[in-house]
Amino acid sequence: REKAEAFLRDCSSKLGNDHFAFLGCHWAGDEADFRNAIELFWERMRHPYMKQVKTPGSRSVKAEVRAKLRQAEKVLLDAEERRAYRAERVSVQERRMASEFFLRKGETALVQGDDGEAKKCFRKVLELDPGDAGSAERLQRASDALAAIKRS
């Protein structure tokens, strides 16, 4: 029960944060990362000990956490909404740097023969790229690499 109370206190302190901070996920995460974090939160909220927490204000905190989780699900599990949300919260420079990082990481994975990791990285490039001046080249390289992996 004490852990449930501590969890609620922690959640309550994070309610004003963006969805990434609330869930404890990096903004460059993919749908699977966000889905796992959201499912873990729902499991904790449904834990039998959570029903035993009767501290003052706990009922409203639980309701606020549930509302925040539903909103995070709506935004982070939909590709277009997630992309728009990132654009609001993360600078173009950060998104460009992340896109370049995953492009290089994917190319390295290809050289090492790890097609699965390469696919994951190139998909991240396509999702994270900010659409700035160098976007066309990055997106083309990632798309070409994904197409080459699918052909092999």
Cα distances (Å, whole numbers) of residue 78 to 15, 73, 105: 21, 8, 25
Distance CA 104, CA 94 (A): 15
Cα distances (Å, whole numbers) of residue 122 to 27, 35, 125, 140, 145: 17, 20, 5, 10, 7
pTM for this one?
Answer: 0.83
**Polymer length in residues for the chain:** 152
**Residue pair 15/22 in contact by the 8 Å Cβ criterion:** yes
Structure tokens given for 117: 């990791």
Distance CA 74, CA 115 (A): 31
Helix (H) or strand (E) holding 126: helix 115-128
Q: Give residue-wise pLDDT tens across range 2-32.
A: 777 788 778 777 887 899 999 999 999 999 9
Q: Give residue-wise pLDDT tens across range 99-143.
A: 999 999 999 999 999 999 999 999 999 999 988 888 899 999 999
